[in-house]
Amino acid sequence: MQAGSAHSVTAIAPKTDILTRKDIQSVKYPRKINEVEILLARIKNLAVVVFLFLLFLLPVTVGGGEHSCMEVARLFEGEKPLEWGQEVTGVITSFDPGDAMAVALTFDACGGGVKGNGYDGELVEFLRKEKIPATLFVNARWIRSNPDIFAELASDPLFEIANHGLEHKPLSVNGKKAYGISGTASPAEAAREIEGGAEAIERASGKRPRFFRSGTNHYDEIAVRIAEELNHRVVGCSVNGDGGSTFSPKQVEKQILSARPGDIILMHMNRPEGGTAEGVTTAVPALKERGFSFVRLSEVLK
């Protein structure tokens, strides 16, 4: 028994037997360094793996839109548009109200320059106070200049965010102009104008928009089909509410009061110096008194 135990101790720990205390102390310090080095190396390896993974992910997330733009553009290469304007084939200008006395208020935020990037806080506060829902067509440039206000609007359930394009260009496949502004010049450019706006909204709000209105609200019918292929419905208007923010409060009021059930009213929320807020403030309560209600586009356009 005894001989057996002694034998097994030497067999299990033969090396410990020959190491002195000094030997053990001398290896302790280097061992600690080794552990730290191993840990650092592991962190480095992990960082490289994470970096490579992100590098792989980047073209998938950022370039994904670019990729689908090119594919969609190819579908329409060589097609010749026959129509140009605000009411071309495929543009929705009103909705079926059913039995409801409903109208849709839509406000564009066009972006570009000091005036284009403005914010009509008075108008928005009025809508909030009166609980009037509205659809806001927001351009990517406006989001860049007003990130905090955009986040606030996008998280307010009273409002629905829609796509007003990347560079606020008229939507054309061959460079047609509106009010002196050159439109997109090819199917690929038209697709980029739509998809770039959608991506800016999705990045800032986490939600992809369903509706598109181009800068100047001008289109050809091929460009409208490109928007549809990119999962947008193109929405113009049946009532020009503020004449591109040039109308006086009285003119805005008159336009809004002319609305019939099913009308889509186009106004602006980026020009506080215009007559829009004042016109809305007087006309909306008057419409309510007549029995009208207000809807966001997704409630009435399926």
Cα-based angle 186, 190, 191 (whole degrees, multiple of 5) = 115
β partners of residue 294:
103
Nearer to Zn ion, 108 or 242 (CB): 108
Nearer to Zn ion, 102 or 269 (CB): 269
Smallest separation, CB 244 to Zn ion (Å):
8
Distances 138 to 25, 135, 205 between C-alpha atoms, Å:
70, 9, 12
Three-state DSSP at 219 gives strand
Three-state DSSP at 59 gives helix
Smallest separation, CB 64 to Zn ion (Å):
26
User: Which positions touch Zn ion (CB under 5 A)?
Assistant: 108, 110, 215
Nearer to Zn ion, 141 or 296 (CB): 141
What residue is closest to Zn ion based on CB?
110
Smallest separation, CB 65 to Zn ion (Å):
21
Nearer to Zn ion, 117 or 174 (CB): 117
Smallest separation, CB 232 to Zn ion (Å):
16
Contact criterion met (CB below 8 Å) for 249 and 89: no
3-class SS shares of the chain: helix, strand, coil, % to 5: 50, 15, 35
Smallest separation, CB 215 to Zn ion (Å):
5
Per-residue DSSP letters for 105-160?
A: EEEEE---HHHHT---HHHHHHHHHHT--EEEEE-HHHHHH-HHHHHHHHT-TTEE
Nearer to Zn ion, 163 or 238 (CB): 163
Other CB atoms closer than 10 Å to residue 156's CB: what's the count? 15
